[in-house]
Amino acid sequence: QMTVSLVDTPYILKHKSHETVFPSQITNEHESLIMVKKLFATSISCITYLRGLFPESSYGERHLDDLSLKILREDKKCPGSLHIIKWIQGCFDALEKKYLHMAVLTLYTNPKEPEKVTEIYQFKFKYAKEGATMDFDSTSTSFESGTNSEDIKKASVLLIRKLYILMQNLGPLPNDVILTMKLHYYNEGRWTPLVKF
């Protein structure tokens, strides 16, 4: 059995099953922000699910076109999943305030050598009057969400498909891994690491 080490206290992010995962069109900046939040949360959920970090009970099922997605949900039996949900919620607050530049999800095995990374996933955020965008980078793939309302759903589906393919091509993780999320904020034209969860 895999052990995932995390820090912090739980915070709940609820997903309603009757909502669509991603809107087919974005008509304003507010809807763009909602889409970026959903895309970010769905991406983190896909990574943690496909890498086997938490038990099945920590995920609910949603559908996006022909994809069946596993989305993190409250699971009191799994404190680690609650920590991730709190991290995501904290990112939502920074996204709303347009402060968040980048969230970096890192997996490593030795607590004394966190610089020896096993896997790294970077989510970069940009803000414009047309709306927010999210770019995704890992060692194996990259993605840009864009703001074109007609293509937003297609772009979202493409990212999720890329994540699924990426995760299938990765080898198994060691039994004990440490998961961290570092946030970088916009600060007078540059970004500064502020918090390590």
Section 155-179 average pLDDT:
85
- Reply yes or no on domain 29-185 having CATH 3.30.70.20: no
| Predicted pLDDT of residue 192 | 44
The tens digit of pLDDT for each residue in 100-128 reads 999 999 998 888 888 888 899 999 999 88
CB-based contacts of 168, cutoff 8 Å, min separation 6: 50
Residue ranges of the domains in the chain?
Answer: 29-185
Q: Rounded CA gap, 176 and 186, in Å?
A: 33
Q: Rounded CA gap, 183 and 10, in Å?
A: 18
Is this prediction's pTM over 0.85? Answer: no
The tens digit of pLDDT for each residue in 63-79 reads 877 778 899 998 889 99
Q: Per-residue confidence at 138, pLDDT binned at 50, 70, 90?
A: confident
Bridge partners of 144, per DSSP, are 135
Q: Two tokens at 71?
A: 């989305």
